Amino acid sequence: MQDAKDTNLQNEPSVAYTDNLEIYGAREHNLKDIDVEFPRNHLIVVTGVSGSGKSSLAFDTIYAEGQRRYMESFSAYARSFIGDMERPDVDKINGLSPVIAIEQKTTSRNPRSTVGTTTEIYDFFRLLFARAGEAFSYVTGEKMIKQSEDQITDLIIQRYEGKKVLLLAPVVKGRKGHYRELFVQIRKAGYTKVRVDGDVLDLVPKMQVDRYKIHDIEIVVDRLTVKADQRIRVVQSVNTALKEGKGSLMLQLHEPANKEEEKPVHFSRNLVCPTSGISYDEPAPNSFSFNSPYGYCPTCKGLGVIEEFTESSLVPDKSLSISRGGIAPLGEYRDTWMFKQLEKMLKNRKLSLTTPIEKLPEDVLDMILNGSDEILKVYSPKYKRTYETTFEGIVAYMKKNYEEGTEKLQNWAKDFVEINTCPTCNGARLKKESLHFKIDGHNIHQLSEYDINHLGEWLEGLEDRMSEKQNQIAREILKEIRKRVGLLLNIGLGYLTLNRSLRTLSGGEAQRIRLATQIGTQLVGVLYILDEPSIGLHARDNEKLIHSLHELRDLGNTIIVVEHDKDMMLEADHILDIGPGAGIHGGKVVAQGTPQEILQQNSLTVDFLSNRRQIEIPKERRKGNGNELVLKGATGHNLKNVTLKLPLGKMICVTGVSGSGKSSLIHDTLYPILNTHFFRAKRKPLEYKSIEGLEHIDKVIEVDQSPIGRTPRSNPATYVGFFSNIRDLFTQLPEAKIRGYKAGRFSFNVKGGRCETCQGGGMKLVEMDFLPNVYIECETCKGKRYNRETLEVRFKSKSIADVLDMTVDQAVDFFENQPSILRKIKFLKEVGLGYITLGQQATTLSGGEAQRIKLAKELSKRDTGKTLYILDEPTTGLHFEDIRILLQVLQQLVNKGNTVLIIEHNLDVIKVADHVVDLGPDGGEKGGEIIFEGTPEQLIKKKKGFTGKFLKMEMKNNGK
């Protein structure tokens, strides 16, 4: 048997069983033919400087091979729809378990995807409310009741013994129409009387009611004196009325003694309000889904918001006249039919297009926006005749373009759309019936507005506040909800609410939600690969995350984490350090082993782990320029009437635990205010009272981690702006002059010099139907972007395509005698991107790389020294050494007189800031306050909040 086993291993080495995960000869991207062995069922951290090859090993080799083998298990028929996956450049991988990758990408751009739906907590709540919720009337607030036919009969006999009553079957409730056909059907069924809007009428041929009024119509099923000994008649009439009324009936006293007795009494097999008579359908889980027509609000279709064209969005500046562009979508006066109609309408009222809008009567402005039935006689010079027309209104005109226009017109109209809370459901997303089912006095929307911390508290002891019947139904459902809530709390996401849209989450938050979901599945024997799960986490919450990863490992799983966090490394079972540099200078294993073993080895990472190398704390903090930017009364989201003071001319760090309100204050309030002030942007800030000190800055620039472009055409050379200089250089070459080539010949975006097969992209888009589209290398130019003739023009024996393939480091030497090009390229090197190529496709750049390219572009500009730069977590994806380089660049910006405002948890950044603003004291409802403003030295003396405690330990390691 042993011999047979050995033979099988030789024939199929890639599936050999081993206690370790073994990778041999990995050469994907910049990996240098490396061999790596990972222990199974351990927490493994793969680290190294940006661009060293960490993701190439973890995702592009191990995960890609796992995916390929999974696809191989499909039938040939199924694979024909998917296509073959390319084999990673690796000799072999042994001991590979099923692989699940949890990356930083935000899970969904769908506005209907929320934290609650993704974690399934909301789905369990839907089930809970459908099975154990108590219904209340949205009219009276009374508890809804439902009865059987026998119960209804007993109640009628008990209450109305000896009284003459009408038994009515409701068929129309609160609707407009003439109802001719309905009356014909009722007559055919043998009934002779109906009750219309409270009056009993005889059914006559061709009977109808006013079609423009709202009506209530009931069939008079029976008129009888209630007697206990005539129970059979009562039962028959009740059954008939319930059948005609689709489960509901009404009882009206024939001769009421007072006004109270004039009101009909309602009975129903369904849930019914005993006073108003409104009834609800039997609830099902989809009755509480904002993705289902059975549950969603009919106005907003479950989105909670509506898009509309409003007076404020169409007429933002009423001091302007219509001819001067007062109606924003129309712009200034032009000789168009729209302006001629407006001119005539105003002329009829002795007004003109030059009248400031603020001086127009309200009814005139309403006609301009919403239209009028008035007949306008408008002369057309083009056709030399007068036309009679009505004015449809600017709102209708914009709606038509937005809903029915070309893509270009729709995008134009979209700029003037205002997104407002739905007036029907007030943002609750559900229809009113669904919102009146309650458990412990709460409806499902109220629970979804709670943050996870608060929800956890509400769930404690809930069984004691429910009835015995509810407890029997809810026991298992509550167990599932509590488990998932606990997982979110354990990974530091207690500040999120269930109704938080997934597209508003950071990559780190979305990744941790998927991590919680995976822990909840209780899978065993899986290889998980995570990409920096600590992103966006405060040092306090990082401990919870590490505990969760240990929990996932202890179930019997192997976890590979691409990570730069020091605490994560020291808590890992095994560390692999890839380097020593980035790009062509990386791709090698420079250190590996347990945390204790690795500290005895030599590498850049180890130097920082062992504190042999540190990011130095400045000897003194900057005093600033004496001016301040002051934002007062910020109350958006969880902010509690915050006043933010920013001393200008300093490096400022805004910090605080996750969910404390940092992004709400800076990204959602301050930045939109400044962006609107300087660039007339349309994004509305969250609520605030006032802002002072705008005269002390001349512009604001947000340097975020969004891509520099979304197609392979975008690259660092075009984004930073030196590619035009390179093209100009090539046009000056003798060969280009002989051929008459202009700068456009060396552009891959216009015809002439580019490869026409891929239209200068170097890659071709392949549509994959139900899978994400993929780009493949162009078979004509082999990724060079240009045609053969263009590539024949060379500078220092290099073609324009060769130049785009150079790394930044190579380009610095290559263009040493070209100052206009060299100056801009050097900034890319300064921000630590010497390893990327000049023509590297934007789609292959990480968020951290994209952010540093944007910084390089800003550095290359001539600045006035009065700019405010805003950066949100710029250390994402960065190694200790990369952070050191980034901070040097940011210090340069401040040294020029600018202000740099950073939202950051990283202690290395906080400790070098001149001024720290700490929000807290906790996340969610317990956050939203500024608990500290001052220098890092002052912060570590503060006892309130968590930042000072962790910063104190970090600064102690630095000897301060």
Q: Does the pLDDT at position 4 exceed 60?
A: no
Instruction: State how far the Cα of 896 lies from the Cα of 882, in Å rounded to an integer.
Output: 22
H/E segment holding residue 445? helix 444-449
User: Which pLDDT score is estimated for 929?
Assistant: 95
Q: For residue 459, what is the enclosing H or E element?
A: helix 452-459
Q: Which residues contact 393 (CB under 8 A, 6 or more apart)?
A: 367, 368, 369, 370, 371, 372
Residue 80, pLDDT > 80, answer: no
CB-based contacts of 158, cutoff 8 Å, min separation 6: none
User: How confident is residue 789, by pLDDT bands cut at 50, 70 and 90?
Assistant: very high
Is the model's pLDDT at 1 over the cut of 50?
A: no
> HEC profile for 461-517?
CHHHHCCHHHHHHHHHHHHHHHHHHHHHHHCCCCCCECCCEHHHCCHHHHHHHHHHH
Residue 748 near residue 716 (C-beta atoms within 8 A): no
What was the pLDDT predicted at 419? Answer: 87
pLDDT in tens, 354-396: 999 999 999 999 999 999 989 989 888 878 888 999 999 999 9
In DSSP terms, 251 is beta-bridged to 167, 265
What would the pLDDT profile of 403-436 be if each residue is shown by its tens digit? 888 888 888 888 889 889 999 999 999 999 999 9
Tokens matching residue 181: 């056909």
Q: In the predicted model, what is the mean pLDDT of residues 84-106?
A: 86
How many whole angstroms separate alpha carbon 713 and alpha carbon 207?
A: 71
CATH ID of 115-133+429-504, from 3.40.50.720, 3.20.20.80, 1.10.260.40, 1.20.1580.10:
1.20.1580.10
Mean pLDDT of the region 225-247: 93
Q: Determine what percent of the chain is predicted with pLDDT higher than 70.
A: 96
Q: Do residues 622 and 890 make contact, with C-beta atoms less than 8 angstroms apart?
A: no
Q: How far apart, in Å, do the first and last CA atoms of the chain sit?
A: 66
Q: Please, what CATH class does the domain formed by 134-282 belong to?
A: alpha beta
> In a 3-state reduction of DSSP, which class is residue 99?
strand
Confidence at residue 3, expressed as pLDDT on a 0 to 100 scale: 42
pLDDT tens digits, one per residue of 585-643: 899 999 999 999 999 999 999 999 998 999 999 999 999 999 999 999 999 988 999 99
pLDDT at residue 327 greater than cutoff 90: yes
Mean pLDDT of 880-898: 91
CATH of region 628-706+848-957: 3.40.50.300
Task: Write down the domain spans for the chain.
Answer: 2-105+506-609, 115-133+429-504, 134-282, 306-421, 628-706+848-957, 716-837
Given a cut of 80, is residue 508 above it in pLDDT?
no
Residue of 146, 142, 130, 143 lying closest to 444 (CA atoms) = 130
Instruction: Check pLDDT > 60 for residue 8.
Output: no
CA distance 203 to 214: 19
The closest of 14, 95, 103, 70 to 558, measured between CA atoms, is 95
Fold of domain 716-837: ABC transporter ATPase like fold (1.20.1580)
- 817-827 pLDDT tens trace: 999 999 999 99
Per DSSP, the residues of 527-568 read EEEEE-TTTT--HHHHHHHHHHHHHHHHTT-EEEEE---HHH
Mean pLDDT in residue range 322-345? 91
At 449, which helix (H) or strand (E)? helix 444-449
Q: Which helix (H) or strand (E) holds 379?
A: strand 376-380
Type of residue at 698: D
* pLDDT value at residue 14: 44
pLDDT of residue 187: 94
Q: How many CA atoms lie within 13 A of 665 on its CB side?
A: 33
Cα–Cα distance measured from residue 609 to residue 563, given in angstroms and rounded to the nearest whole number: 13
pLDDT value, residue 872: 86
Q: Does residue 11 surpass a pLDDT of 60?
A: no
Q: Do domains 115-133+429-504 and 716-837 have the same CATH topology?
A: yes
Q: What is the mean pLDDT of residues 141-161?
A: 91
pLDDT for residue 222:
95
At residue 875 the predicted structure's pLDDT band, cuts being 50, 70 and 90, is confident
Reading the block at residue 411, the tokens are 């995008």
Distance CA 596, CA 518 (A): 30
22 confidence band (pLDDT: 50, 70, 90): very high
Q: Give, as one character, the DSSP assignment of residue 613.
A: S
Query: Which pLDDT score is estimated for 666?
Result: 95
How would DSSP label each residue in 1-42? Answer: -HHHHHHHHHH-GGG---SEEEEEEE-STT--SEEEEEETTS
- What is residue 93's three-state secondary structure? strand
**pLDDT tier at 83, thresholds 50, 70, 90:** low
User: In this predicted model, what pLDDT tens digit does every residue of 757-780 receive, in sequence order?
Assistant: 989 988 877 665 545 566 778 889
CB contact set of 926 (below 8 Å; sequence gap of 6+): 453
User: Tell me, what's the pLDDT at 846?
Assistant: 75
Look at the domain 306-421 and name its fold. Answer: Helicase, Ruva Protein; domain 3 (1.10.8)
User: CB within 8 A of 888, min separation 6: which ones?
Assistant: 830
pLDDT at 923 over 90: no
Of the candidates 666, 661, 662, the one whose C-alpha atom is nearest the C-alpha of residue 868 is: 666
Q: Which among 184-188, 277-281, 877-881 has the top mean pLDDT?
A: 184-188
What is the rounded distance in angstroms from the CA atom of residue 30 to the CA atom of residue 26? 9
**pLDDT for the residue 258:** 82
pLDDT at 303: 94
Question: Residue range 840-850: average pLDDT?
Answer: 81
Q: How far is CA 250 from CA 159, 168, 170, 237, in A?
A: 14, 5, 7, 12
Average pLDDT, rounded, for the chain: 90
- What's the CATH superfamily of 2-105+506-609? P-loop containing nucleotide triphosphate hydrolases (3.40.50.300)
The Cα 512–Cα 552 span in angstroms is 13
